[in-house]
DNA sequence: AACCAATTTTTTGGATCCAATAATTCCGGA
DNA sequence: TCCGGAATTATTGGATCCAAAAAATTGGTT
């Protein structure tokens, strides 16, 4: 009924990452169309998008199958993000921080300081931190002045981080989570210092290391959409 | 008439990179459909694919525009490829070369040695080298045992390298081209040695440097499709 | 002449129909 | 029982139709 194509993509992505269609399963247009209550057309469009994202792949035969991701794939996806964000950080450090960007980052860091000042995090704080974290990374990536890196990161995020995300949901409230997030925050400070001082190689290295926190913490960006 | 969707994507990609629709231009389904002599349906599908590839982008309003790429975008795209292939090389070096992979790479290198042994390259040699070069890189990337990196590279290749490609077409026969390709070949040797010796950091660094040759040489992979 | 509103035109999104083709089933013969 | 080919079925790709929404144009008012 009322379903714009974008929402079909989103729904389908969600259903796949939630396991409604399990990995390796062949997936047909008609069935999905019926499941979502739309005609085949938006599903066909969505399949193309999801194929490019890497969530679906064409079979040698006909139609698509849900792509299978291994633990190693997730590990590699985290490293991919690391090298890409590292590249962004290095370029930004070498180009130099403009005043608006520097001030923006400083605001985020100050907010983070405030969040962690209590020595513990409530649920609302974790939400705040999640947003703050995403803003910090986004700001750096966008400040590089090209969308090429941001696109590369975005295109790589979908499924592997969806599964990483589901891990963190369970572990969020466990002991030690505070320490982990606080460490991420401290790393942000280090990255910022390197950016401010124009230390490109160091900024890159710090950012690459920082990515590994995502392995347990979940998406550094948060899943968009 | 006889146009499978895949071919619409290919045609459209080609037309865009050749400037049939210039950058920043709004592009409508009907017009493209007429230009290609097909109905709107395959064009709509193709638009989604090209959108994900980054060749088209949605306007705030309606429809798509041909994405604009700057010189800097191409530069960054080359660096993106560098860090991704560097990651692949490091992982492979750390995991260790299996005998089949090592032998495969040695065959490519030996073929390269033969190509360059004359001290100059004919047109046919350049074709051979192009294939050889692609095979060498592909082998390394595929040997990492995950498709995540290969996908990230493939998704990033389309337009920026198309324009880089057009540069090399013109310069191929100029003086100094031989030296450049020979240097690329020598770099392959260095990368191979690092891989064989398990020197991950060195393999990564060499691969990252190696990517810069692509700036003038054109796509290291060759444009697929 | 400029600005705002209403109407017309254009364009996209979704549904459906038809054709082509891949996959499967079924049947007969060895 | 097993194999091969023909008929059947299922599924995808392309074209067309309709509705919705946005853009452009027209006209009226200040």
pLDDT for A110-130, tens place per residue? 999 999 998 888 878 888 888
**Residue of chain B whose alpha carbon sits nearest to that of A144:** B76
Characterize B124-163 residue by residue with b for buried, 16 or more Cβ atoms within 10 angstroms of its Cβ, and e for exposed. Answer: ebbebbbebbbbbbebbbebbebbbbbbbbebbbbbbbbe
Angle, vertex CA B122, rays to CA B118 and CA B123, nearest 5 = 155
B58-62, B161-165, B198-202: the lowest-pLDDT one: B161-165
Which residue of B45, B80, B151 is in closest CB contact with A45?
B45
| Cβ-nearest to A76 among B48, B79, B146 | B146
B40 CB below 7 A from strand C atoms:
yes
Domain count, chain A: 2
With CA of B2 and C1' of each nucleotide, the nearest comes out as D14
User: Which residue of B80, B91, B147 is in closest CB contact with A152?
Assistant: B80
* ipTM passes above 0.85: no
What is the band of B4 on the pLDDT scale with cuts at 50, 70, 90? low
Residues B80 and B186 in one domain: yes
Residue numbers in B near A84 (CB within 8 A):
80, 83-84
Among the candidates A40, A66, A92, a domain finishes at A66
pLDDT score at B172: 47
Residue A29: CB atoms within 10 A of its CB come to 17
Q: What is the mean pLDDT of residues B211-215?
A: 82
- Asked whether residue A189 falls in the same domain as residue A149, the answer is yes
Q: Which of A136, A143, A134, A150 is nearest to A101 (CA)?
A: A143
- Which nucleotide is nearest to B60 if distance is taken from CA to C1'? D22
Mark whether A51 and A122 lie in a shared domain.
no
pLDDT given for residue A54 in this prediction: 86
- pLDDT tens column, A154-171: 888 766 555 544 444 444
For residue B222, being part of any structural domain is answered with no
pLDDT for residue B59 is more than 70: yes
Q: Based on the fold, state whether residues B20 and B78 are members of the same structural domain.
A: no
Give the number of C-alpha atoms closer than 13 A to the C-alpha of residue A157, restricted to the C-beta side: 21
Neighbours of B84 (CB within 10 A): 28
Q: Is the Cβ atom of A29 within 7 Å of strand D at any atom?
A: yes
Cα separation, B209 vs B202, whole angstroms = 11
Residue B225 lies in a domain: no
Instruction: Write out the two tokens for B58.
Output: 């949605």
Whether A164 and A215 have beta carbons less than 8 Å apart is answered as yes
pLDDT of res. A223: 33
Which helix (H) or strand (E) segment holds residue A26: the answer is strand A26-27
Tens digit of each residue's pLDDT (9 = 90 or more) over B101-137 = 999 999 999 999 999 998 888 878 888 888 899 999 9
CATH number of the domain residue B22 falls in = 1.10.10.10
* Per-residue tokens: B36: 């290609």
Residue A174 burial (CB < 10 Å; 0-12/13-18/19+)?
exposed
Residue A170: predicted pLDDT:
44
- The reported pLDDT for the residue numbered A104 is 98
* Residue A121 confidence (pLDDT): 82
Query: What does the radius of gyration of chain B's CA atoms come to, in whole angstroms?
Result: 19
Q: Residue B74's pLDDT is what?
A: 82
Are A146 and B76 a contacting pair at CB < 8 A?
A: yes
Q: CA nearest A44 in B: which residue?
A: B45
Proximity of residue B5 CB to strand D below 7 A: yes
At A123, list the tokens: 């649920």
The reply to whether A120 and A25 lie within a common domain is: no
- In tens, the pLDDT along B149-186 reads 998 988 887 665 555 444 444 444 445 578 888 999 99
Residues of chain A with pLDDT under 70: 1-4, 158-176, 216-225
Range(s) of the domain holding residue B139: 71-217
Quick one: average pLDDT of B11-38? 89
Under an 8 A CB cutoff, do A155 and B160 touch? no
User: Would you call B180 helix, strand, or coil by DSSP?
Assistant: helix
Q: Answer with the one of A17, A33, A66 that is the final residue of a domain.
A: A66
> Which 3 state secondary structure label does DSSP give B64?
strand
To the nearest whole number, what is the mean pLDDT of chain B? 84
B48 C-beta less than 7 Å away from strand C: no
Per the document, the length of chain B is 225
């Amino acid at each position: 009924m009322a379903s714009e194509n974008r929402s079909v993509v989103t729904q389908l992505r969600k259903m796949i990452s939630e396991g409604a269609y399990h990995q390796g399963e062949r997936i047909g247009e008609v069935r999905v169309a019926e499941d979502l209550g739309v005609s085949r057309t938006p599903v066909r469009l969505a399949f193309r998008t999801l194929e490019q994202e890497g969530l679906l792949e064409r079979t040698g035969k006909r139609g698509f199958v849900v792509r299978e991701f291994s633990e190693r794939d997730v590990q590699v996806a985290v490293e991919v993000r690391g090298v890409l964000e590292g590249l962004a950080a290095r370029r930004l450090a070498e180009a130099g921080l403009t005043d608006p960007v520097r001030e923006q980052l400083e605001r985020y860091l100050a907010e983070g300081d405030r969040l962690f000042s209590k020595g513990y995090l409530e649920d609302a704080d974790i939400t705040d931190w999640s947003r703050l974290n995403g803003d910090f990374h986004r700001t750096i990536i966008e400040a590089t002045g090209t969308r090429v890196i941001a696109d590369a990161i975005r295109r790589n995020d979908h499924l592997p981080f969806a599964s990483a995300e589901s891990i963190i949901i369970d572990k969020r409230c466990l002991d030690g989570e505070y320490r982990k997030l606080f460490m991420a925050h401290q790393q942000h400070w280090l990255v910022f210092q390197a950016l401010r001082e124009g230390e490109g190689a160091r900024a890159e290295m710090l950012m690459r290391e920082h990515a590994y926190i995502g392995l347990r913490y979940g998406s550094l960006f948060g899943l968009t959409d």
